[in-house]
Amino acid sequence: RKFNFCAGPAALPEPVLRQAQQELLNWRGLGCSVMEVSHRSPEFTEVAEGAEQDLRDLLDIPANYKVLFLQGGATGQFSAVPWNLFGAAGSREQRVADYIHTGQWAEKAIKEARRYGQVNIVASSADRNFSYAPGPDSWQQSDNAAYFHYTPNETIGGVEFDYVPEVSCPLVADMSSNILSRPIPVEKYGMIYAGAQKNIGPSGIAVGIVRDDLLDRALPDIPRSLRWKVAADAGSMDNTPPTFAWYLSGLVFQWLKAQGGVEAMAELAEKKSSLLYGFIDGSDFYSSPVEKSSRSRMNVPFVLADDKLDKAFLQQAEEAGLLNLKGHRSVGGMRASLYNAVPLEAVEALVAFMADFEKRCG
């Protein structure tokens, strides 16, 4: 296997894939795969409940929060958040939500919320091309917001918040690209959601963590499939869930626990990202477009001094076994995603390759 820096769907831990491979044809001696049993069977119920418990242990989720395994990805939650939280706010004109605009993912969430109510942009980093996370000094919060939404890690721009916003309404976070990469104070949030395909498991499933007093604030016309309360009451099985993705996510949670949990992941993320940023900062050939205080530990965008070399860089990186370093199509350049399953050796190999490329082509 090669070192995979894909932003998502991203690398999975090799031991997890090996276990899944081993169990694929004959899971638990049942004579069929986990994909071929009922989601209501005792065997799958054990998988589902085990995954929830492991996630609760990993993130230290308080008992008054529901853990949901959802479909429709994080994008589904861009819609689900306003649908589920605007219900207590009154008419469309009275519905207000605060959003921080930090880049492309925040913007998608904002656009979706605008379809159901008023969005107040509390702060935006558009003035410097979304290269930083705005600090709380500049915020313009509304006094009647139904909730406050932000994107703790912008996967495309490589911008990560190093603090949790202090707000007086329910705090909602799209943690798709940095969940499980460090301990989080769940009790400060009203709702956390994340698409699985970066730090959790394969695509096709998303995780939601919702404080239970927020389950009764949905707009009356909310589609059933988006309603958190329906998912909570049905153990995330109101309809057939993506069982294989759920099972694999559960294996990832077990792997994370065996690695030492989110504390160990935070330490590793710090090591990996500081190795790469340190190298980039020490070079005149590579540079990072992100302000130092807001640099993501998960997604590291960087550019070469001469973009005519981009193609050769990517081709040679691939030949060296370093996959998926191309930056997002909207920003160009390079991006190395360093999620939990990317080992330190991958970053060491990347830095060695970058140094060598610079020597030969810089």
Whether 105 is a known active-site residue: answer: yes
Q: Please provide the size of the chain in residues.
A: 362
Q: Is 75 in the site for ligand PLP (CB under 6 A)?
A: yes
Query: What mask of x and - would describe binding to ligand PLP in positions 195 to 234, judged by CB under 6 A?
Result: x----------x----------------------------
CB 190 within 8 A of CB 172: yes
Whether 198 is a known active-site residue: answer: yes
Q: Is 155 in the site for ligand PLP (CB under 6 A)?
A: yes
Of 171-179, 214-222, 278-286, 318-326, which part binds ligand PLP (CB under 6 A)?
Answer: 171-179
* Radius of gyration in angstroms for the set of CA atoms belonging to the chain, rounded to a whole number: 21
Of 38-46, 70-78, 220-228, 241-249, which part binds ligand PLP (CB under 6 A)?
Answer: 70-78
C-alpha dist (Å) from residue 330 to 78, 333, 334, 337 = 20, 10, 11, 16
**Closest approach of ligand PLP to the CB of residue 242, in Å:** 12
The catalytically annotated residue of 105, 228, 246, 255 is 105
Residue 261: count of CB within 10 angstroms of its CB: 18
Q: What are φ and ψ of residue 133, in 5° steps?
A: -100, 120
Whether the ω angle into residue 134 lies within 30 degrees of 0, i.e. cis, is no
Q: Measured from the CB atom, is 3 or 193 closer to ligand PLP? A: 193
Q: Is 289 in the site for ligand PLP (CB under 6 A)?
A: no
Q: Is 151 in the site for ligand PLP (CB under 6 A)?
A: yes
Please select the residue that binds ligand PLP; options are 54, 98, 174, 358, rule is CB under 6 A.
174
Question: Residues 302, 305, 308, 309: what is their CA dihedral angle, to the nearest 10 degrees?
Answer: -70
Token pair of 162, please?
């190093």
**Closest approach of ligand PLP to the CB of residue 206, in Å:** 6
Residue 161 CA to chain centroid, in angstroms?
13
349 CB burial (10 A radius; 0-12, 13-18, 19+): middle
Please select the residue that binds ligand PLP; options are 74, 159, 231, 338, rule is CB under 6 A.
74
The catalytically annotated residue of 66, 198, 229, 326 is 198
The catalytically annotated residue of 174, 246, 255, 326 is 174
Please select the residue that binds ligand PLP; options are 102, 177, 181, 324, rule is CB under 6 A.
177
**Closest approach of ligand PLP to the CB of residue 10, in Å:** 9
**Closest approach of ligand PLP to the CB of residue 279, in Å:** 24
Contacts of 185 (CB under 8 A, 6+ apart): 164
155 known member of a binding site: yes
Give the 3-state secondary structure of residue 144.
Answer: coil
Please select the residue that binds ligand PLP; options are 8, 165, 202, 235, rule is CB under 6 A.
8
254 known member of a binding site: no
Sheet architecture: strand order including 334-337: 286-287, 299-304, 334-337
Q: Is 336 in the site for ligand PLP (CB under 6 A)?
A: no
174 known member of a binding site: yes
What DSSP line would sit under 145-201, residue for residue?
-S-EEE-SEETTTTEE-SS----SS-EEEE-TTTTTSS---GGG-SEEEEESTTTTS
Q: Measured from the CB atom, is 155 or 243 closer to ligand PLP? A: 155
Amino acid at 175: M
Whether 127 is a known active-site residue: answer: no
CA-nearest of 307, 357, 300 to 324 is: 300
Q: Is 176 in the site for ligand PLP (CB under 6 A)?
A: yes
Please select the residue that binds ligand PLP; options are 86, 105, 277, 286, rule is CB under 6 A.
105
Site of interaction with ligand PLP (CB under 6 A): 8, 73-75, 105, 151, 155, 174, 176-177, 195, 206
Q: Which residues are annotated as a binding site?
A: 40, 74-75, 105, 155, 174, 197, 239-240
Residues tagged active-site: 105, 174, 198
Q: Which residues are annotated as a binding site for pyridoxal 5'-phosphate?
A: 74-75, 105, 155, 174, 197, 239-240
